[in-house]
Amino acid sequence: MSTLFSPFSLGKLALDNRIIIAPMCQYSADNGKTTHWHDMHLGNLAQSGAGLLIIEATAVAPEGRITYGDVGLWDDETEAALAQTLTAIRSHSDMPVAIQLAHAGRKASCEKPWDGGGAIDPDHANGWQVVAPSAVPFREGDPIPESLSKAGIAEIVQAFVESAKRAVRLGLAAIEIHSAHGYLLHEFLSLHANKRDDEYGGSFENRTRIVFEVYDAIRDAVGADYPVGVRISASDWVADGWDIDQSVALAKGLKARNCDFIHVSSGGLHIDQKIPVGPNYQVPFAARIKAETGMTTIAVGLITEAEQAEAITFTGQADAIALARGILYDPRWPWHAAAALGAEVKAAPQYLRCQPRTLKKLFG
C-alpha cells in the first residue's frame, strides 16, 4: 500500500491522503474579497484528489496584504465573499479546505507580480504605509517601513484572532499561521529584519515572542480541538540569519503548546539569499524538525514526482508533502501519482468515465 495515499491526521482533522495543496497567492481579489477567479481556481483544485486544500495567504488586515489584489478576512464583506466561494467549492467537493492567515509586514504594498511586483509608495492609489519590526526596508530604495509600537503589535495579534474566529465561522477545516517567506512574523524572527531592543528583539526568546503570542491567542479563540499549525522558513539562506537550529527550537516551543502541524519552507527574508534549488532541497529541514520534535510535519519544495513524494513519506522524512507550482501546472497530479503508485484516489462522479481502461481501480 502506498504511504503517500494512506490516511493521516492534522490534529483532529482526518485526511484521505498525505498530499496537501499549499497556499498560492492569486492576486485577483477585489479589496480583499474573493472573486469568480477564486471560485474557478479553488474549485478546480478541489477536484484534484489531494487530501487538503489550503487557501492562499489571507491578510488579517488591509495593510497586511502583499498586493492590493490579495485575499483578506478582516471584515464582514471579506467574510461574506469567502463564504460564497466556499459554497461553490463545497457544492461539488468534500475535500477539506483550510486557510493560511498572514500579514506581509514590510513586503506589503506591492504591485502584482505580472506588473513587476515592485514596492508601491504609500501615497500611490494602490499603496499604503507598511509596518515591520524595525524601520528596515526589504530592498534598498523601497519605502521605509514604520517600526511597530507595542500597541501596534497587540493590534496585529488581535487581528489574527478576529480572522481566526471568522475562519471557524466559515467552517474552514484548519488554520495555518504564516510565519515564513519574509513576511511579518518571519521578520520578527530574523536579526536581518529585527533590530529592536525591547522584549520583541535581540534574544531568541524575544524574537519568537510574537509567533507564540499569535499562536496562543488563536488557540484560545478557537479551542483545543481545532487544528492550528504554523508555516515557517527554516532558513534565511544567508549568513547570520534565521536558521535550522533556531527553527528546531521554535518547533519545540510550538510542540509544547500542542501545535498540530508545522509546514516547512525556507527563504524570502533577504535579497542576498543563496538557495541551492533542486529536487527535495527543503526536505532535510522538515526531516530534522520531525526527528527532533516529533511534530506532524509537511515538506515542500520541488517535489514533482510520485516516487519522490512516496519516498519522503515512506521513509518518515515528513508526514505529508505539499504541492504549489507543481499542482498549478498539473491540477490532476494526485490522480497521476496514484496511477503511478498503484493507489486509489477520489474523483467526482462526473469524471469517473475518464478513468484509463488499464486502471480499473484508480477511482476507488
DSSP 213-259: HHHHHHHHHH-TTS-EEEEEES--SSTTS--HHHHHHHHHHHHHTT-
Q: Around Cβ 43, how many Cβ atoms within 10 Å?
A: 17
301 Rama class: left (phi>0) / alpha (psi -120 to 50) / beta: left
* CB proximity list for 358: less than 8 A, separation 6 or greater: none
User: For the chain, where are the alpha helices, taking DSSP H only?
Assistant: 36-45, 76-90, 150-169, 184-189, 204-207, 209-222, 244-256, 283-293, 306-314, 325-329, 333-341
Point out the catalytic residue in the list 68, 183, 200, 215: 183
Q: How far apart are CA 160 and CA 58, in angstroms?
A: 10
| Side-chain-facing half-sphere of 72: CA atoms under 13 Å | 24
Amino acid of residue 101? L
Q: How far apart are CA 316 and CA 311, in angstroms?
A: 8
Say if residue 28 is exposed, middle or buried (CB neighbours under 10 Å; 0-12, 13-18, 19+): middle
Are 167 and 181 in contact, with CB atoms under 8 Å apart?
no
Amino acid of residue 262? I
Q: Does residue 183 have an active-site annotation?
A: yes
The helix/strand/coil state of 358 is coil
Can you say how many angstroms the Cα of residue 207 is from the centroid of all Cα atoms in its chain?
Answer: 20
Dihedral sign for Cα 182, 241, 235, 261, please.
negative
Facing residues of 300 across strands?
322
DSSP 33-88: B--HHHHHHHHHHTTS--SEEEEEEEESSGGG-SBTT--B-SSHHHHHHHHHHHHH
Catalytic residues: 183
